[in-house]
Amino acid sequence: MGLDIYAGTLTRYYAHNWKTVTQQWAEVNGFSFSRITPQGGRAEQEEKQDPQEIKKAMENWQSQILAAVSPKEGPSYEPWTEDNETAYYTDKPDWDAFGALLLYTAARTYGEPLQETVEKNWDFENHPLIQRMGEDEERGVWSLFIGASWWLPIADGLAFNAPCPTDEEITFSTTGALKMELEQINSIGFQADEKTILSWSRTEGYPADGEIHNGKLTKEGIKEHTLYNTESLAKFAFSILWRAVKFSIEKQVPILLDF
């Protein structure tokens, strides 16, 4: 199961009015593509709902969440954008790169050497350094290490469990928290300027597994990769998350892990 990052309105997300970067690539290059849901069905075959009805449901869910997490004293958190038109941002770090970023962060935090490579489809959740970071209460709560999969456009750093609009209980955090975490990672590790960080989504990451010749995808003559450079994957995932946070703050929309 792959991993995509989506930053945009929940209305647009649940109306399926967005396309992953893989879908976009397939359309540009003349290939067919279907998104498979966690239940095993095709997303495009799911029953379409009226976007206006989805918008009402999202606004109702949003008001309940904001009422629950807003400060007891002082102003409540402002509602974020909900419609079916606001632009969205998406990219695909996949789990190997996401895990590499967690490993990079943990290694730099504890002053441990970073292993040079990670295996394809590696089990990052059970890596000792990543587990240590997730259990280290003295380091504070890191949304990236507690399984957060949604970041709401709130400047304060929060983390909590609650039902998402489909009633599945998940871990939420905020873009304010994720922004602080990314800045901390950059401070203890990369120490890169923003221009460099933004470039990593194009210059770092996974090696090519195929090439397009005359409109056809071929893997002939290309070695199958089973090992990836850890730091390169970490930079790739970091750049995608950095872009997502910038977009979330600018448009005032949530960030979701889509898998």
Which has the closest alpha carbon to 207: 117, 112, 84, 101? 117
pLDDT surpassing 50 at residue 39? no
| Arithmetic mean of pLDDT, 53-77 | 95
pLDDT of residue 30: 67
pLDDT of residue 208: 79
Quick one: what percent of the chain has pLDDT higher than 90? 78
pLDDT surpassing 60 at residue 204? yes
Residue 32's domain comprises 4-258
pLDDT of residue 215: 53
How far apart are the two ends of the chain, measured CA to CA in Å? 6
Q: Find out whether 33 and 23 touch, Cβ atoms under 8 Å.
A: yes
pLDDT of residue 223: 72
Number of domains in the chain: 1
pLDDT surpassing 80 at residue 7? yes
pLDDT of residue 176: 98
User: How does pLDDT run across 155-167, given as a tens digit for each residue?
Assistant: 999 999 999 999 9
Q: Could you give phi then psi for residue 38, rounded to 5 degrees?
A: -60, -25
User: How does pLDDT run across 94-152, given as a tens digit for each residue?
Assistant: 999 999 999 999 999 999 999 999 999 999 999 999 999 999 988 888 999 999 999 99
pLDDT of residue 60: 98
Residues 6+ apart with CB under 8 A from 234: 97, 100, 101, 103, 104, 105
pLDDT of residue 225: 82
Give the number of other CB atoms < 10 A from CB of residue 258.
Answer: 15
Average pLDDT, the chain: 91
Q: Find out whether 234 and 103 touch, Cβ atoms under 8 Å.
A: yes
Which has the closest alpha carbon to 143: 251, 256, 235? 256
pLDDT surpassing 60 at residue 214? no
Report residue 31's pLDDT band, with 50, 70 and 90 as the boundaries: low
